[in-house]
A and B are shown apart, each in its own frame.
Chain A
């Protein structure tokens, strides 16, 4: 039996809570002087990154190392082989190396799903195209629960480039599972076609949503994925959908501001807001390591995985 973490939608409520609770205990390990556990000794985790990433790759690497796993970083950037073939060839190489888990980031949506049919180990999706990024959603939920003490009934606004955002999709699925109410806020051009089938509300008006929100999650405007004019100008986008000082002042006193990073300061979020005490941006990075430790532990720590969909 094997198990993967490819979509946040694969996680049941119990799975998701088990990951968050495990992360809560593991967070204490990060506070002590010896931040290492022997749990995954002798297991091999391969980081397979076909796309640029700083925090996610480093975060997975730190998580695996803190659990004493052997880490192999496989940066496939610049490969000239056609996409489908190279992925399968790579998969066969990983098989030969005896990878117990493959953490994959790929520009094509669905690549981790495909990979899962070729390798024996667990596949963890670290972001595939505009599809999903489940561990980001888990660390976001973890950060919210740590700051606000609960997830059930929380009102979460996810603001910005939903169309190109795997973070938004994973967050909507996971937060819905955990009982939070998500509202997507974006210009109509930056919402996916089938958004009405997602388990969330949709609004085009940030100013109407802000005062009712407990969490405001700003998404990065993904200029590198934009090959058409989705909005008239950066300045106009920023004025209608950017979180600046005035809008920040309209949030209620306990509300928090999140951003998955990397930030375009001055575009979707002003520097002042990003650096305020109610912003969780740096906490999210620290929590990322703990949550990924929990995921790796629960997938690899026993005779069989404790979470996720079996395949």
Chain B
């Protein structure tokens, strides 16, 4: 790979991600007064991993066992007709359900806000939470819908021509958030996070 195309830059390394998730866990505990009746729902694939990590930290800090699950949003996307049908992710709701609880949606990157809108629709079909909040590891701006995160790991100013890719130990063998410039982005598209490509 030539230097001109090799413009991927790690903006968060393992310890940074670790600290960001620790802070988010503390903030959730603070904002929800001890995370009673909180349910963490991650958006597959990496949001689901992040939700599990946050739940582990909450359990560690205050001994509260927060129900964790995943909610797949593929069937609720607004851009389904723009690309071939995609494989579905896994939806796993905790046995307690979401009715009357505070659901914290967890995603890796917040960008246009369309994924979160789809998640709100999906959530509507599985129950009626008392409140819904949003946690994201990276907020890269460029919102296209009136959506805002309640818990943010890192605000990352980006250009629309850049891509943000999140790597997590559980799925990718390492922890990192990488910012990729457009010309380099083209090369990594195939291996990249499909959720990013879709935007």
**Which A residues contact B (CB, under 8 angstroms)?**
18, 21-22, 25-26, 28, 32, 34, 36-39, 67, 297-306
Find out whether the CB atom of A39 lies under 8 angstroms from the CB atom of B80. yes
B 77-107 to A, binary, CB cutoff 8 A, 1 in contact else 0: 0001111111111110000000000000000
Complex-state Cα separation, A28 to B76, whole angstroms: 15
B125 partner, pick from A25, A32, A298, beta carbons under 8 A:
A32
Asked if B80 and A26 sit within 8 Å, CB to CB, the answer is: no
Given A303-B82, A305-B84, A306-B85, do A25 and B126 touch, yes or no (CB 8 Å)?
A: no
Further 6 A-B residue pairs, CB within 8 A, beyond A28-B91, A67-B75, A306-B86: A25-B91, A34-B125, A298-B85, A302-B83, A302-B86, A306-B84
Q: Ordered nearest first, which 9 A-B pairs have the shortest CB separation?
A: A302-B85, A301-B85, A306-B85, A25-B88, A302-B84, A39-B75, A37-B75, A34-B125, A298-B85
CB distance from A18 to the nearest CB of B (A): 6
Chain A residue with the shortest CB-CB distance to B122:
A37
Do residues B88 and A22 form an inter-chain contact, with CB atoms below 8 A? yes
Complex interface: chain A residues within 8 A of B125 (CB): 32, 34, 36-37
Known: A25-B90, A25-B91, A38-B121. A302 touches B126 (CB 8 A): no
User: For A303, what are the chain B residues with a Cβ–Cβ distance below 8 Å?
Assistant: 81-84
- Point out the residues of chain A lying under 8 angstroms from B121, CB to CB: 38
24 A-B residue pairs with CB within 8 Å:
A22-B88, A25-B88, A28-B91, A32-B126, A36-B125, A37-B76, A37-B125, A38-B76, A38-B121, A39-B75, A39-B76, A39-B80, A297-B85, A298-B85, A300-B85, A301-B75, A301-B86, A302-B80, A302-B81, A302-B82, A302-B83, A303-B82, A305-B84, A306-B84
User: In the complex, which of the residues A34, A303, A304 has the most CB atoms of chain B within 10 Å of its own CB atom?
Assistant: A303
Contact present for B76 and A21 (CB under 8 Å): no
The answer to the question of B108 belonging to the interface, with a C-beta cut-off of 8 Å to chain A, is no
| Alpha-carbon separation in the docked complex, A298 to B81 (Å) | 12
Please report the C-alpha to C-alpha distance between residue A26 and residue B88 in the assembled complex, in whole angstroms. 9
Chain B: minimal CB distance from A83 (Å): 34
Bound form: Cα–Cα A300–B89 in Å: 18
Tell me if A38 and B85 are in contact (CB < 8 A): no
Find chain B residues with CB under 8 A from A306 CB: 84-86
B72: Cβ under 8 A from any A Cβ: yes
Measured between beta carbons, the chain B residues less than 8 angstroms from A36 are 125
User: Which B residues touch A37, using CB under 8 A?
Assistant: 75-76, 125
Neighbouring A residues of B81 by C-beta, 8 Å: 302-303
In the bound complex, residues from chain A placing their C-beta under 8 Å from that of B84 are 302-306
Measured between beta carbons, the chain A residues less than 8 angstroms from B76 are 37-39
Q: How far does the Cβ of B42 sit from chain A's closest Cβ, in whole Å?
A: 15
Instruction: For residue A116, give the distance in angstroms from its CB to the closest CB of chain B.
Output: 19
Q: How far is the CB of B149 from chain A (nearest CB, A)?
A: 24
B187 to chain A, nearest CB (A): 24
The one of B72, B75, B87 in contact with A18, judged by C-beta atoms closer than 8 angstroms, is: B87
Once the chains are docked, how many angstroms separate the CA of A198 from the CA of B81?
38
Are B72's CB and A25's CB within 8 A?
yes
* A161 shortest CB reach to chain B, Å: 36
Question: A297 CA to B77 CA in the complex, in Å?
Answer: 13
Q: How far is the CA of A299 from the CA of B75 in the complex (A)?
A: 14
Q: In the complex the two chains form, what is the Cα distance from A4 to B75 in whole Å?
A: 21
Which of A34, A36, A38 has the most chain B CB atoms closer than 10 A to its own CB? Answer: A38
A146 to chain B, nearest CB (A): 16
On chain A, the residues within 8 Å of B89 by CB distance are 25
Closest chain B residue to A298, Cβ basis: B85
**Could you tell me the distance in whole angstroms from the C-beta of A15 to the nearest C-beta in chain B?**
12
**Nearest CB on A from B47, distance (A):** 16
Task: Closest A residue to B88 by CB, please name it.
Answer: A25
CA distance A26 to B125 in the complex (A): 14
Closest residue of chain A to B92, judged by CB?
A28
For chain B, residues 36 to 90, give those with C-beta under 8 angstroms from any C-beta of chain A.
72, 75-76, 80-90
Identify which of A18, A34, A304 contacts B126 (C-beta below 8 A). A34
**Chain A residues in 8 Å Cβ range of B75:** 37-39, 67, 297, 301
Cα of A94 to Cα of B66 in the assembled complex, Å: 52
